[in-house]
A and B are shown apart, each in its own frame.
Chain A
């Protein structure tokens, strides 16, 4: 019996190894030494086709970007057009969303979605990799009639070839005015007085340009050297314990709990900061302006309905309730006259050109890889 058992075991092992070998060779045959990634579609940029506004439409958006309720903007669109909308809130971070979609986009698939909403630089990155379709302005009469003039031409997408803004916002400083009323500049965040009571955003393109602005450097013109110098300054502050954490949206929790006196954060977050002393301040040296944009990915089904949705969102009457809920800057001209008077006066939702005169567009460094590597070393210190 003992000997028989051994031989059975040996054979089992042999079978197992054979199966492994087969699977491995299949794997080798399937992937060979081909190349993964690299935006193979970039040569043939297509333009999304127009068509009837009907059928199904899947949209990936950020949480907090849609008014709630059974008669919200989505429901109204469905009622008006008969389109069945699958509204998915699965964009929590540009990077993570990109990581999730990239393998499909590489295959020319959009995961069934016809619209993504991503931030300027991510829209550009996707476009450069050939993951987006261009938009046909002829299909978007309402959008280009009502879009705010400042948004019509932007540095990352001159002439709006592939992006339509959903909302815009400003990166600046949140201050707990009861604890640190005198903080007005990003430079103040480096004041040892506030050691361990300050947070910054973990996103490279949010935090570093604001620090450069504070040093008098124009982030759009900045060299890699400038980026790396600013990162060095932040690294020193992180190592010394001056900066408590690098955060995503969760700086609002630290602000609410009173763990911090100031944070780098976004202008539209007043509704989730439950601290009545907290206020968003325009940094003395200017803010970082960004938009989250609707884009049409490659392989998007039913692009006709996607155009329909974009036009619908750009009706001022449709956008006004949305703007009241989101409290970021609506991209649609004429919304200011339709919202509650209180909100219409809010410079964070309807900033005047004077208010944002020192602000800069968000941009990536000239040579992303070394800068990003240095930055990630700071974040995962």
Chain B
């Protein structure tokens, strides 16, 4: 191979690498550097290897962190339970309405996130018909409310991140070879067995992608907790916002952000290990071979 030929891969790598360096490595570096500073707004923040920022940023915030896990986890499971049948129906049962239904899934998201979340405040306000119905059905106590509760925050998260679950699932289901299900049935499997042994394993890549795309942003979200939550619903995103904007504790805010990234990375790694790298990489052959 000539030198020129050998350099080609690097040139091809160039744009992506540059992107990563400029928009990932450099910001990470500055964030890491900020996390190791100490001081206040009036004295200035001096770099002095202040590792104590990391434990300090966790102290007193463990409740919000575990709450974030619980909210984001519940929202992800709910989104999966809603999205799977929906994506399945769109992929296989919608016929000529397929595109229309897909559009219906995406259309609300042409409106900004904030406006949609604020709209839920109106829909779920204490005197609204919906809350009235829920009270009649005894799902909400007679003098109870929906807004400013954990339920409202989880519902908001589920709603806001639902498309991130539906779209990968749909893309995956759409490519599913229906003949495989036929074959399963020819071999005397029940519909349930065919689903569990053929459809579900083959759609694992979609599920894994959907779960990641839903869980990660939901974990760091603070808008839903702020708008739909009350006094006991703050998530870790709200804590970081408060540290940064209200307390001007830039180093601790950066440290907490770092720790949350590490935490998410660990959780995601375990999850991918558990769900199978093949599934994550979309390696269907490997999946099918199992």
Contacts and interface: CB of A to CB of B under 8 A. Distances in A.
Given A8-B9, A35-B46, A238-B231, A380 B126 contact: no
B121 interface: yes
B164 to A, nearest CB: 26
A37 B245 contact: no
B231 A243 contact: yes
B231 A39 contact: no
B77 to A, nearest CB: 25
B44 A96 contact: no
A129 B41 contact: yes
A246 B238 CA distance: 13
B67 to A, nearest CB: 10
Contact of B148 (A16, A27, A245, A377): A245
A196 B42 CA distance: 38
A381 B245 contact: no
Interface string B36-57: 0101111111111000000000
A258 B64 CA distance: 29
A32 B33 CA distance: 10
Nearest to B48: A33
A250 B60 CA distance: 28
A178 interface: no
B232 interface: yes
A128 interface: yes
A369 B246 CA distance: 10
A19 B14 CA distance: 11
B274 interface: no
B231 A12 contact: no
A3 interface: no
Contacts of B242: 376, 379-380
A40 B242 CA distance: 25
A272 interface: no
A16 B126 CA distance: 56
Given A99-B245, A243-B231, A245-B148, A128 B9 contact: no
Interface in B142-191: 145, 147-148
Kindly state the interface size class of chain B when it binds its partner: 35 or more
B199 interface: no
Contacts of B60: 377
Nearest to A93: B245
A229 interface: no
A38 B230 contact: no
Contacts, number: 126
A88 interface: no
Contacts of B227: 250
DSSP majority for the A interface? helix
Nearest to A9: B9
A59 to B, nearest CB: 23
Interface string B237-275: 011001111111010000000000000000000000000
Contacts of B37: 36
Interface in A3-28: 4, 8, 11-12, 15-16, 19-20, 23-24, 27
Kindly state the interface size class of chain A when it binds its partner: 35 or more
Interface string A77-109: 000000000000000010110010000000000
B245 A96 contact: yes
Contacts of A376: 242-243, 246-247
Contacts of B44: 35-40
B232 A239 contact: yes
Q: By CB atoms of chain B within 10 A, which of A23, A38, A253 has the most? A: A38
Contact of B42 (A8, A128, A238, A245): A128
Contacts of B148: 196, 244-245, 259
A33 B13 CA distance: 33
A372 B248 CA distance: 10
Contacts of B41: 37-39, 129
B119 to A, nearest CB: 11
Contacts of A96: 245
Contacts of A372: 246-247
Interface in B74-113: none
Given A239-B232, A380-B242, A27 B10 contact: no
Given A20-B25, A377-B60, A381-B231, A33 B245 contact: no
Contacts of A257: 121-122, 125-128
Interface string B200-216: 00000000000000000
Contacts of B64: 380
A301 B154 CA distance: 48
A29 interface: no
A258 B42 contact: no
A381 B43 contact: no
B10 to A, nearest CB: 6
Contact of B230 (A32, A33, A244): A244
23 contacts: A23-B21, A27-B26, A33-B48, A35-B39, A35-B44, A35-B46, A36-B45, A37-B45, A39-B44, A95-B245, A99-B244, A238-B231, A239-B232, A241-B231, A245-B230, A253-B121, A257-B127, A376-B242, A376-B246, A380-B64, A380-B234, A380-B239, A381-B234
Given A241-B232, A253-B121, 19 more contacts: A8-B6, A8-B9, A11-B10, A15-B17, A32-B47, A33-B47, A33-B48, A34-B47, A38-B41, A196-B148, A244-B148, A250-B227, A259-B125, A259-B126, A259-B145, A259-B148, A376-B246, A377-B60, A379-B246
